[in-house]
Structures are given as structure tokens and as C-alpha cells.
Chain A
Amino acid sequence: MTEEAAAPLWEVFIRSKRGLSHNHVGSLHAPDAEMALRNARDVYTRRMEGVSIWVVPSATITASSPDEKDSFFDPAADKPYRHPTFYSIPKEVQQL
């Protein structure tokens, strides 16, 4: 059996401390989810880098395509009025 079939790839996400979200840190091979979690602990948290780990089979992730990044993210490009800096406020108003 090839390594790919016997031990598929998992993406690893770690919450570095309470109050923060899980961040992607890398990937690893493991035969199942439980082993993936244990391997992730050994590979990515040897110095208490995390308080919680998610592992996700890489093959199950759906990603946007870099080829269509312009059109895909276009709708947000021409809407500066969504940002507070779009609005001019009289100088005498110090905080708004």
C-alpha cells in the first residue's frame, strides 16, 4: 500500500490560547484521526504552542481557485463606503 493510501494527509489547526481562533499550522500523514491528533501534538505543540487542535482530512477541503481570484473577490473591490475612512467628519468632532 502506498503511503498516500495507508496514511493520508491531514491539515492541522491550532488554538494557541483561549480567546483566539484555531489557525492553520501545517499538515501531516496519519492513518486515522486519532493518530493524526497525537502526531499533531508531537509535531506542532512541543513548546505549549496550543490548547486545542483540529485535524481535517486534506482531501475534504474545498478551496477557492487562484485563477479566479480577481473575479471572485471583485464584489468587495469597489465599495470603499464600507470603510470608516470613506467618510469625512468636521475637525471639531474629535472622536467618532
Chain B
Amino acid sequence: MRSNGPIERDLAGSAVSGGDAGGAVGDAREAEFQALIEADQRIEPRDWMPDAYRKTLIRQIAQHAHSEIIGMQPEGNWITRAPSLRRKAILMAKVQDEAGHGLYLYCAAETLGVDRSELIDLLHQGRQKYSSIFNYPTLTYADVGAIGWLVDGAAITNQIPLCRCSFGPYARAMVRVCKEESFHQRQGFELLYALSHGTPEQHEMAQDAVNRWWWPSLEMLGPPDTESTHSAQSMAWGIKRFSNDELRQRFVDMVAPQAVVLDLVPPDPALRWNEERGHYDFGPCDFEELRRVVSGDGPCNRQRAAHHLKAHEDGAWVRAAAAAYAAKHAASAAA
């Protein structure tokens, strides 16, 4: 009547697992699942859920986790060359947060019955993806500012609605992530503001970073609604709350007036306030480029994947040593 096992973990293949519940029992479970979704209740790991819901969540949460971990690389690149001790402490804290966010998310994915090591293998085999944005290079320290302001700004726009995602552990992880992410955006804004109001060379450096990160940040919110493959079902399941295009509009509306305060000009001649719509108009994104970067052909895809694999392999002896130490002490405690 009770099951031993991880508190927040579905035991893969056990009776509570979805999909195999056929006939009347299956129908009743499906109906109960639907009723919970429609009542805007949360689904918890050991509840029955359709296989496709579970698979969609594993794919999305793993991709999100990988993005946080791969996302440490572009900025980590600058830690040793930070312009001041203050900036260095901030950047280290930020990159450490990204590691933490990755771990919250792997933890949420694991409640669905997969193991983190399986997900990391899938990443290394190129069978799971991460956000397109981390395949762009960071050429100057101003990029740290542009990433904080634009990339983290876009991420927050995407993540705030995920705090109400129908899957409990994912939603709870996102609440934590969003709380921490707002420091990321503010430090980026402050950095760009300092550069923009510094020497003409510094201003130019900030403008150059914004020129390079603007479009990729808009594109990272996903393909247009007309081409988005997973959107409709994810909306019906309460995993996704707003469409990619709605999120993109929300993001542009947020950052366009901030660019004025920064005294930096987004590289989009079509960007202007539309009184009638009550929103900013903006030019078309290059979704062909997004497709190219997502499918592995961005400026840094190979470098990012190779670096992650190397770090993982270089760390193998640490994991082996810690496991051996734990095994030895468990044995001597038992003796």
C-alpha cells in the first residue's frame, strides 16, 4: 500500500507510471489528470500523467538545465580578466548561480524518473539541446553587461510564466531561479550604464556588445508561433502560458525604453512605439539563423560541447575518489 523510494520521484516502470494504464482505469486517471490541469492545480511527480506529458517535460527541463550549465562558459571566459575586484566578485557569483540553476533543474527533471547522468550523456551525444544563445562568443567585457541585460532579460521574460507551470517541481525550481536572476539582469544593466557613460571608447564598446546580442536575444525566445512545433500541446497542458511571439513582444516592450536610459541604440531601424497597439513595433528576426544555430552550426557550438565534455571527463577522478572515500568509510562504520 505504500511505496518505499525517493519522496519526489516517480519510480519508472511502477504502477504509478503513465501510459500503460489501459481501459477504464486508464480513462479515469486521464480524466483526473485533465481535471487537475483545468482547475489550474499542480501535477506532482508521483501522480499519474500521460507519457507524452512526461516526455515533453523531461525534454524541456533537461534542455533548460543544460542551458544553465553551458551558459557558464561565455561569461566564465571573462572571470580572470574582470576589470576590478568588484566586477570579478559579481561575475563569479553570477556564474555560480548558473551552476545552481542547472542543479535545481536537473533535480526537477529527476523527479520524472530519469537520472542526471543519463541527461548529461544525451547532451554529450548531441541528442538533447541547450539554448541557441550560448553559441555566440563573448568578445569584450561589455558582453558580460549585454548578456545580463538582454540575455538574462529574455530568460526572465520566459521564466516568470514558468513559475506557474503545471508541473510542481519545475514551477518551484523556477521560483528560485527567477528570484536570483533579477540580480543578473541588474548587474548587466549597471555594467552597460557605467560603460555607456564612460569614455567614448567605452561607450562604443557597450554599443558594439548591444549590436551583437540584440537579435540573438530576441531569437532565443523561440521560432515564430506559426512554426513552433511544441507550443499548442504545451499550452493545453499548462506547461507554457504564453506563445513565443507574445513573450518576444513583452521582452521588447521591457528593454526598448531601458535602451534610452542606457543611451545605447538597438540595431533595429524599425523599432518604435506604436500608440495604436500600445506596444513597440520591431523588425523581423532572422529565424533562419536561429535554425542554423540550434541545429549545431552557430559560431561556438563545437567549442561549447567539447568544453563541457572535457570538464566532465577531467572531473571523473574527483567523483571516483569521493565515491571510494564514501565506500571505505561506510565499510569501516559497518565493521
A interface residues, Cβ below 8 angstroms from B: 1-4, 6-7, 9, 11, 24, 26-32, 35, 42-43, 46-47, 58-68
Contact = CB atoms under 8 A, between A and B. Distances in A.
Contact of A3 (B104, B115, B326): B115
B118 to A, nearest CB: 9
B42 interface: no
- Top 5 nearest A-B pairs (CB, nearest first) are A3-B117, A58-B6, A32-B326, A31-B326, A6-B323
Interface in B168-216: 169, 172-173, 180
Contact of A26 (B3, B44, B104, B329): B104
Contacts of A64: 2
A34 B160 CA distance: 34
Contacts, number: 98
Chain A facing B: main interface SS: mixed
A42 B322 CA distance: 17
A70 B213 CA distance: 53
Contacts of A7: 319, 322-323
A46 B322 contact: no
Contact of A67 (B15, B115, B172, B322): B15
Contacts of B115: 2-4
Interface string B4-43: 1111110000011000000000000000000000000000
Contacts of A28: 103, 107
Contacts of A42: 96, 100
Interface residues of B, number: 40
A90 to B, nearest CB: 38
Nearest to A63: B7
A66 B107 CA distance: 21
A26 B4 contact: no
Contacts of B323: 1, 6-7, 31
Given A24-B7, A32-B330, A43 B2 contact: no
Given A2-B117, A27-B110, A63-B2, A46 B100 contact: yes
A46 B6 contact: no
Contacts of B6: 9, 11, 27, 58-59, 61
A10 to B, nearest CB: 10
B8 A27 contact: yes
B46 A66 contact: yes
Given A61-B4, A67-B48, 18 more contacts: A1-B323, A3-B115, A3-B117, A4-B115, A6-B320, A7-B319, A26-B104, A26-B108, A26-B172, A26-B173, A27-B111, A32-B325, A32-B330, A42-B96, A63-B5, A65-B1, A65-B2, A67-B15
A1 B326 CA distance: 13
B116 interface: yes
Given A9-B110, A59-B5, A4 B103 contact: no
B47 interface: yes
Nearest to B101: A43
B329 A11 contact: no
A35 B117 CA distance: 18
B326 A35 contact: yes
Contacts of A59: 4-6
Contacts of A58: 5-7, 9
Nearest to B327: A31
Contacts of B180: 46-47
